[in-house]
Amino acid sequence: RGAMRYIQHHYTVLEEPAKGDAGLFYYYLTMAKALNAYGSDTIQTPQGDRLWRQELVTQIISLQREDGSWLNENGRYFEALPELVTSYAILALREALGGPS
């Protein structure tokens, strides 16, 4: 419940609400897991209902590099390692595309 309340009040796919781009891809993964477990394709936010699956997939795909990998220019939390960040991105996409649990 706490995770859902936080996501509802701070929802964005553009950055990690508390840290900007630090740990961004780990944020995508944890957010996707929480929202998938929630079991709905939409999330209610103060700005209205959001299609979180579509928004997250679109954002992650937009950050994919030409060689197919992902990388966070902000290297905090080891996110300068494409092997780690690509794993986070693929797992987040799997959660987002997997449908409700």
Q: List, for residues 2-31, the tens digit of each pLDDT value.
A: 888 889 999 999 999 999 999 999 999 999
CB 22 within 8 A of CB 30: no
Number of domains in the chain: 1
Tell me the β-bridge partners of 63: none
pTM of the model: 0.92
**Structural domain boundaries enclosing 64:** 2-97
pLDDT of residue 100: 52
Alpha helices in 11-100 (DSSP H): 24-38, 52-62, 82-97
Q: Which of 93, 15, 18, 6 is nearest to 58 (CA)?
A: 93
What are 37-75's pLDDT values in tens digits?
A: 999 999 999 999 999 999 999 999 999 999 999 999 999
